[in-house]
Amino acid sequence: MITDSEIKEKWFKFFEKHGFKRIENASIIPENDPTVLFTTAGMHPLVPYLLGEKHPAGNRLCNVQRCIRTGDIDEVGDDAHLTCFEMLGNWFLGDCPKEEMIALSFEFLTSKEYLGIPKERLAASVFAGDETAPKDEVAYSAWKKCGVENVFYLSKEHNWWGLGAGTGPCGPDSEMFYDTGKPKCSPNCNPSCDCGKYLEIWNDVFMQYKVEKAGEKAVPLARPNIDTGLGLERAVCVLNGVKSVYDSGVFKDVVDFIGTKAAEKYDSSEKAKRSYRIITDHLRTSMFILGDLRGVVPSNVGQGYVLRRLIRRAVNCARNIGLDTKYFADIIDIFVDKHGVDYPDIAGNRQFVKDELSKEVEKFSKALEEGHKEFEKVIFGIERHKQFAAQSGEVVENVISGKACFRLYDTFGFPFELTKELAKERGYDVDEAGFHAAFEEHQEKSRTASAGTFKGGLADNSYESAKLHTATHLIMAGLRKMFGPQVMQKGSNITPERLRIDFNLDHKMTPEEIAEVEKFVNDAISRQLDVTCQEMSVKEAKASGAVGVFENKYGDVVKVYSVGDVSKEICGGPHAKNTRDLHHLKIVKEESSSAGIRRIKAVLD
């Protein structure tokens, strides 16, 4: 059996041998990216460098990045889906040696020194070409040269990377698949048919084009890049020949632990198996979110809402299999013991994670009580309707509407299965089709609002956003001057129109405090201060007084942005050139983001 740690070790050994510089993983809470709630791919922390900035570590980089994707949260519980995973990634910045990257991919996958997958079990797909760009014959030929027999030309839907808006950097990609040995579903079976024969394990994205206007033909990019990603957990599954990601490593450790405490056993039913897996996945993801250096806590908005949903789904599943939620703390310990080695921020926040998890479990217990009360109100309303309807001869069925069921679920966190159980006890049916329709509508809205798949999510890189980014540095400098150096940025969301910044503070700011911070920023703007950037070691950055969360976040060399004598922070950019370009800042709102975290929204006018 090969472990995830062994695969990571092989990954770095291989790419460092080929001239790639190892960089640290970034926070899973993205900074200055309004398109996603979480870091969904290794590319997100590298946005400025993919768009042209020089990276302190050079043009060839590699790392392992924690990623969270919640678009398929309802698929969790099957053999392959996870909400949190580790992505092995490497990058070429500023050149695009496509043949070299494909040869490297093939060598790492097939060499006995590394993963040792027989080349006969590999398949690849490349871009088939359309009106946007020609077919990727270079990639096709490169795979054939390596000796891969099954190489498929697929459409843009499957083998093209681009921004959601349809403009900006874009290009073909080449995906690598493991042939599971299942029979072909048809003579035309290929990786796009989702029959289970081909399992995707790696993706090379060739950012070699750009689109100026949506719908126009792509033109060559002046500074092309390559961005790759290999899913670690899926690789472990393939290499160990197990059916599910939950059948090896720390996942199996947790599943086995739950089996010693739950009333219902893992293999007793498909529902039980899914419950075990959802608990395992959701508590692991919750640990990563709570334990992150920019960690958030459960709330009703943004990342906090996702975290709350994960925890509450875990509680529901524990109820399904008769698992006391007091054992959640033990499960967190298993995960921290494993992942804390690679991510010290998690190890240092072990107790915080368990405390916040316990608080949310308790809150959910109270929410369930409220849900019961609301359920009774629904029944009362139907009974009153029946009384009035009887006077006119109208017949009202004993059915709880799908809309009412979904409101219980979404507003009160009341499990739909529980609604059905209680309804049955009271002689009522539920409109399951209506509930699922409302659920699908909500899910689609959530996907649109927090879109973030591997093939999308680069942040806006306009000068308007750069100016607002500089403004966030000035706001933080003003806050630290007023309240002390313990005040740190806990997240931000910047668009070309406005900025939103979260920071730790134990009280609601007064109008006078808000006005003072605003004045501090505008004084800096009026001084027309230059914004400068220096590259230095982490030790030098600390010694210079630069603000930043240093532990295990940055490489050996970092960028330090200074705004005159007002602000000095470790940051990846981009920024304004001079504060005069900011004109004037107006704070439009100060509000609570979550417990102990405040939020400022501001604009430049």
**Are both 424 and 528 inside the same structural domain?**
no
pLDDT score recorded for residue 452: 35
Count: domains in the chain: 4
Same domain for 188 and 101: yes
∠ CA(566), CA(568), CA(572), 5° rounding? Answer: 135
88-92, 102-106, 323-327, 459-463: least confidently modelled range? 459-463
pLDDT at 367 over 90: no
> What pLDDT, on a 0 to 100 scale, did the predictor assign at position 429?
92
Output 68 or 548, whichever has higher pLDDT: 68
Q: Give the type of residue at 306.
A: V
Q: Of the residues 325, 350, 368, which one is the last residue of a structural domain?
A: 368
Question: Which region among 159-173, 254-268, 527-541, 565-579 has the lowest average model confidence (pLDDT)?
Answer: 159-173
Residues 6 or more apart in contact with residue 248 via CB below 8 angstroms: 1, 236, 237, 240, 242
In terms of domains, do 20 and 130 share one? yes
Domain membership of residue 456 (yes or no) is: no
Amino acid 212: pLDDT: 76
Handedness of CA 6, 87, 294, 467 (dihedral sign): positive
pLDDT of res. 163:
64
Which token pair is 286?
């919750």
DSSP states of 25-61 as a string? PPPSS-SS-TT-SS--STTGGGHHHHTTPPPTT-SEE
pLDDT number for residue 195: 84
CA gap 68, 55 in Å, rounded: 24
Whether residue 258 is contained in a domain is answered as no
pLDDT digits (tens, 9 = 90+) for 476-502: 999 999 999 889 888 778 888 888 888
Asked whether residue 253 is domain-assigned, the answer is no
Q: Are 570 and 497 contained in the same domain?
A: yes
Tell me the CATH number at 580.
Answer: 3.30.980.10
Instruction: Give me the torsion for CA of 56, 57, 61, 63, rounded to 10°.
Output: -90
pLDDT for residue 493:
80
Take residue 313 and report the two structure tokens written for it. Answer: 């789904």
**Whether residues 48 and 148 fall in one domain:** yes
In a domain, 248, yes or no: no
pLDDT tens-digit profile of 326-356? 999 999 999 999 999 999 889 999 999 999 9
User: What is the per-residue pLDDT for 261?
Assistant: 96
136 and 71 fall within a common domain: yes
Is residue 556's pLDDT more than 80?
no
* Residue 546 amino acid letter: A
Nearest to 296 by CA among 333, 335, 349: 349
174 and 88 within one domain:
yes
* Beta strands at 557-563 and 198-211: parallel, antiparallel or unpaired: unpaired
pLDDT digits (tens, 9 = 90+) for 11-49: 999 999 999 999 988 888 876 555 678 888 888 788 778
Residue 363 lies in a domain: yes
pLDDT value at residue 549: 54
Q: Based on the domain organization, do 91 and 164 belong to the same domain?
A: yes
* Residue 526 structural domain: 463-604
Do 497 and 522 share a domain, yes or no?
A: yes
Same domain, residue pair 110 and 82:
yes
Dump strand ranges (E) for 307-362. none
Domain presence at residue 250: no
Could you report the per-residue pLDDT of 499-512, keeping only the tens digit for each? 888 888 989 999 99
Residue 255 located in a structural domain: no
